[in-house]
Structure 1
Amino acid sequence: MQTNYQVARNSEVLVADSNKVLRNTYALLGLSMIPTVIGAFIGLSLDLTFVAQHPIMYVIGTLAVMFGLFYGIQANRNSGLGVVLLLALTLFMGVMLGPILQVALNLRNGAQLIGLAAGGTGIIFLTLAGIATTTKKDFSFMGKFLMVGIVMLIIASIANLFFQIPAFSLALSGVAVLLFSGFILYDVSRIVNGGETNYVMATLSIYLDVYNLFVNLLQILMAVLGDRD
């Protein structure tokens, strides 16, 4: 009887800890949207012709900054500095939205498409996060498949920097939407089931899922519904 009580008690503690991590993650995720929006406005005001002229240099430079911030967040995940670096990353990611937002706003219905992409991202996130939270199903089995998928997506995206095939870009965006939707299920499930106990790292993972989901949804909407007249 004592053993059963201890098991039940440990289970209650695990659930309470998971709920706390999830609450802190959602709070920090909401906060991270503020510097993202500020960064997006900064990106819109910048002259980004360099991006079109030197796309490979742009990608290399942004990846260097991103991975530097990733390392800093990982190293300081248990301190307030980790939160500061995470917010700095979200500001930078907002600035990096500048090129695609500028392209979108050059369309007659660009503002509507941005709003539609944001709304679609929100609906997908809330639905999948709700499924992972309420069912408490362990989606860790998706991990290897998602990692293989993301590596192949990165390789294909780099290849398309040289070939610039519009139909291939659209196909890659479709695959990315599916992959990052899967990552939302996977990452929220890890928190719910105790696989991720640090809310800073949990927020980083889910933020990148949401960010990439939005970008790729917007690319699809611009290609399919963009009014260029």
Structure 2
Amino acid sequence: MTPSHPDPSTSGQGRPIATWPVSEARPALAPAAQRVLRNTYALLAMTLLLSAAVAVLSLALQLPGPGPLLGLAISLGLLWAVHRLQHSAWALPAVFALTGFMGYSLGPLLTRSLALPGGTEAVALALASTGATFLALSSYVLLTRRDFGFLGGFLTAGLLIALLAGVAALLLQIPALALTVSVGVALLSAALILYETSRIVHGGETNYVLATVGLYVSLFNLFTSLLSLFGLGGSDD
């Protein structure tokens, strides 16, 4: 008589042994999403390098800034131009014009920051924190494939409120309000990184120009907000 082989899923007493379910493999990105993601990160790297170069040049030459309100108006105008030209051959020049101008406007802020005691360390910390935040949040979305599309309405309302509060803080010169705005903008910028990356992953954003601008503006606002929270961004001393 042939001896029977024990069932590996049962114990010697015939009781079933608990087994762990095999986790499902993470689905691969669609080819279109992969292409948008690749082009977005490539263009984002170029815009960040351009902004850094212009900011360093502005810092070295001690160029005067455009002023907060004028700078905001020009940035919004160039942002509108990018959206207007997103499907034309002028889209990339508009992106580089926007990011170059924002780099130029960063020069005076860095000048004031570096002139303060411990300014170099604080700027480096703000830069490192911005990079680490972007890498952590982007990696989280890419690894988990979680959809953050539900944040769209909240972010739109939050950005509008932050814009109005920021203008009010600038005109009324209220330090507590400016600090609150900086905290809010930092949190909104982090949420926007999640939102924009999620839209690319799930096919909600198919234009890499707009995706790049969305991530760039989030990084720029996150960096400047961190400088302000470190007590550097709004200092005129």
CA deviation profile, 1:198-217 (whole Å, cap 9, x unmatched): 10110000000011001101
For residues 81 and 199 of structure 1, what CA distance do their matches in structure 2 show?
Answer: 14
RCO higher in structure (CA 8 A, sep ≥6): 1
Per the TM alignment, residue 34 of structure 1 is displaced from its structure 2 partner at its CA by 1.6
What SS is found at the alignment partner of 1:97?
A: helix
Shift of 1:218: 1.2
Q: Which stretch of the first structure deviates more once superposed, 165-174 or 16-25?
A: 165-174
Structure 1 residues 66-111: Cα deviation after superposition (integer angstroms, max 9, x where no partner): 2332233223323442112211211100011122111111112111
Percent identity over the alignment? 38
- Residue 177 (structure 2) pairs with residue 183 (structure 1): no
Name which of 7, 28, 40 aligns with 1:25.
40
> Are 1:136 and 2:145 matched, yes or no?
yes
Q: Within 5 Å, give how 1:62-81 maps onto structure 2.
A: 62-81=71-90
Alignment root-mean-square deviation, CA: 2.2
Q: Structure 2 length as normaliser, TM-score? A: 0.81
- Secondary structure (helix, strand or coil) at the match of 2:231 reads helix
Is the 1:41–1:98 Cα contact (8 Å) retained in structure 2? yes
Q: Is contact 1:113-1:218 (8 Å) kept?
A: yes
Which structure has greater helix proportion?
Answer: 1
Match of 1:46 in 2: 62
Please identify, of 88-97 and 161-170, the stretch whose mean Cα deviation from structure 2 is larger. Answer: 161-170
State whether residues 170 and 223 of structure 1, in contact with CA within 8 Å, keep that contact through their aligned partners in structure 2: no
Following superposition, which runs of at least 4 residues in structure 1 exceed 4 angstroms of deviation?
none
Higher-Rg member (1/2): 2
Q: For this pair of structures, how many residues does the alignment match?
A: 208
In structure 2, list runs of 5 or more residues that go unmatched: 1-26
1:47 CA drift (Å) = 4.6
- SS of 2:204 mapped into structure 1: coil
Partner of 1:118 in structure 2? 127
